[in-house]
Amino acid sequence: MQLVDTHVHINFDVFQKDLEALQARWKEAGVTRLVHSCVEPTEFDSIRALADKFPELSFAVGLHPLDVEKWTSESAQQILDLARSDQRVVAIGEIGLDFFKAENQEKQKTVFEAQLAIAQQLNKPVIIHCRDAAAPMTELLQKFWQERGAVQGVMHCWGGTPEETQWFLDLGFYISFSGIVTFKNALTTQESAQMVPSDRLLVETDCPFLAPVPKRGKRNEPAYVRYVAEYVAQLRGVSLETLAAQTTQNACQLFGLV
Ligand code: NI
């Protein structure tokens, strides 16, 4: 059985003391590939160093919506250059909109659009972070698709309602579920995990955040993607092996993993 953890942040300080043990555990859990996300381009060297160390790692480059105040006139060119500088860059991300408590919504939209354009130029998928912004996100993407053409991508750490999920399926996106789906009160997320077609489904940890049940509250790590996969398999009435095979194939398809 093979699993892909499609969203990790193992460059964070909280992992630096036990990376080898982390790898041993993800291997034991069946995790054969990982996609490392990026919240700001200054992380690029640390992420690349991890990919040198762990050949199963591919990675993204991008600026997170909560960090858009760091966007400058040089940022687009910088992200473009970094993405072109290493064949292991498989996506632009994580990018998106986070309106949970944002007062800079217009700036977030501008920065998101600029990074969508980079992904389109490079023909790479986007990893989208979308919090409390499903409607404006859909509107922005529909407009972008109409004016400039579609971009492939994934809605990461998805917690939307079935209705919102359908909006993004209609836009062609993959939907990735994290530990959130295992939480007792996450009923709408669980409904969403049941309705996503099997060829659009992905799993992730978003570690170190949001550890799934039965590790809730602890530091999350790539091995725990197995708990997410087990839970989603159960929700969908399929075996873990089937769910793993489907989601692994989807991750390979979206990110061009070999
Ligand atoms: Ni993330």
Per-residue pLDDT reduced to its tens digit, 128-187? 999 999 999 999 999 999 999 999 999 999 999 999 999 999 999 999 999 999 999 999
Span from the CA of 242 to the centroid of ligand 1 (angstroms): 26
**What is the spatial distance between Cα 102 and Cα 78, in angstroms, rounded to a whole number?**
25
Q: How far is CA 201 from CA 165, 192, 209, 250, in A?
A: 11, 11, 20, 7
Span from the CA of 45 to the centroid of ligand 1 (angstroms): 17
Mean pLDDT, the chain, whole residue set: 98
Span from the CA of 186 to the centroid of ligand 1 (angstroms): 19
Span from the CA of 92 to the centroid of ligand 1 (angstroms): 12
Span from the CA of 243 to the centroid of ligand 1 (angstroms): 22
Span from the CA of 47 to the centroid of ligand 1 (angstroms): 13
- Decide if 60 contacts 93 (C-beta within 8 A): yes
Report the pLDDT value the prediction gives residue 113, as an integer from 0 to 100.
Answer: 98
**With bands split at pLDDT 50, 70 and 90, how would you rate the model's confidence at 102?**
confident
Q: How far apart are the first and last CA of the chain?
A: 16
**What is the spatial distance between Cα 3 and Cα 126, in angstroms, rounded to a whole number?**
20
Query: HEC profile for 159-177?
Result: CCCHHHHHHHHHCCCEEEE
- Decide if 34 contacts 62 (C-beta within 8 A): no
Span from the CA of 205 to the centroid of ligand 1 (angstroms): 9
Mean pLDDT of 246-252: 98
What sections of the chain are H helices per DSSP?
A: 19-28, 44-53, 75-85, 105-122, 134-148, 162-170, 187-195, 225-236, 240-255
Span from the CA of 68 to the centroid of ligand 1 (angstroms): 15
Report the pLDDT value the prediction gives residue 175, as an integer from 0 to 100.
Answer: 98
Span from the CA of 206 to the centroid of ligand 1 (angstroms): 5
**What is the spatial distance between Cα 156 and Cα 202, in angstroms, rounded to a whole number?**
9
Span from the CA of 191 to the centroid of ligand 1 (angstroms): 22
**With bands split at pLDDT 50, 70 and 90, how would you rate the model's confidence at 223?**
very high
Return residues with CB closer than 5 A to ligand 1 (ion). 37, 206
Instruction: Tabulate helix, strand, coil % of the chain (nearest 5).
Output: 50, 15, 30
**With bands split at pLDDT 50, 70 and 90, how would you rate the model's confidence at 101?**
confident
Span from the CA of 41 to the centroid of ligand 1 (angstroms): 14
Cis peptide bond N-terminal to 125, omega within 30: no
Span from the CA of 246 to the centroid of ligand 1 (angstroms): 22
Q: What confidence tens digit (pLDDT) does each residue in 178-203 have?
A: 999 999 999 999 999 999 999 999 99
Span from the CA of 37 to the centroid of ligand 1 (angstroms): 6
Report the pLDDT value the prediction gives residue 258, as an integer from 0 to 100.
Answer: 81
Q: What confidence tens digit (pLDDT) does each residue in 60-86 have?
A: 999 999 999 999 999 999 999 999 999
Q: What is the CA radius of gyration of the chain?
A: 17
Q: What confidence tens digit (pLDDT) does each residue in 13-62 have?
A: 999 999 999 999 999 999 999 999 999 999 999 999 999 999 999 999 99
